[in-house]
Structure 1
Amino acid sequence: MTMTDRLYAPICKYDRIIVLGASRGENIDVACEIEADPPAKTYRWKFNNSGETLDVDAERFAKTSNGSVSVLRYTPVHEMDYGLLSCWASNSVGHQINPCVFQVVAAGKLSKAR
């Protein structure tokens, strides 16, 4: 039995949509956590609202040194900046099939408690 028997392409650590609340102009850090062996080499992010799907520029997110998380600094400015953020990772085995998904909602709409 060798270590190569366990190699697999990246998968999302959480198998649910994670809801994040943010006010307009507020910076939030969105952490895309994956599990992979070997660690992920690259990440890509997309943003989707009801009107369009956009690639997120690579300079807007960082990959940690261990290859298991990518952090996107996201700031909603307009009403159209609320929607779904999706993240995929790749390693030498292959590409992540199902993305990690985050729903960015206006913070005031979540709850009145504070």
Structure 2
Amino acid sequence: MLLTSSLRALPAGRPLTCLRAVRFASHDAPQFNEPTGLLFGEKPPPPGFRRIKQPWENIWYYGMYGTMLIGGVLLYFKPDTSIQTWALKEAKQRMEARGEKYKYEPSTH
């Protein structure tokens, strides 16, 4: 009823874009997979047998953990580019150029 009343209100030369949107959006309800209680929906193998890996699993394991290992090594050896390190180095150079000591040494009065 609402659709027919909106069609009557449209001018004759206007394209019916709202009808297309309604038609394309009118599909079935989303599919629901009933939970089975099995991990990833796989049935466990019979006793005495091992689970058969799928061909993509080893690639995923080596790729995921290899990338994490390489990332950890790269982060460990990353150069220190912080502003504090640069400022301390620059201050030491300027103080040495003026002949001042950059380390604090308490006086012995």
Query: What TM-score, normalized by structure 2, do the two folds share?
Result: 0.18
Larger Rg over CA atoms = 2
TM-score between the two structures when normalised by the length of structure 1:
0.17
Which structure's relative contact order is higher, taking Cα pairs within 8 Å and 6+ residues apart? Answer: 1
Query: In proportion to residue count, which structure has more helix?
Result: 2
Q: Which has the higher strand share?
A: 1
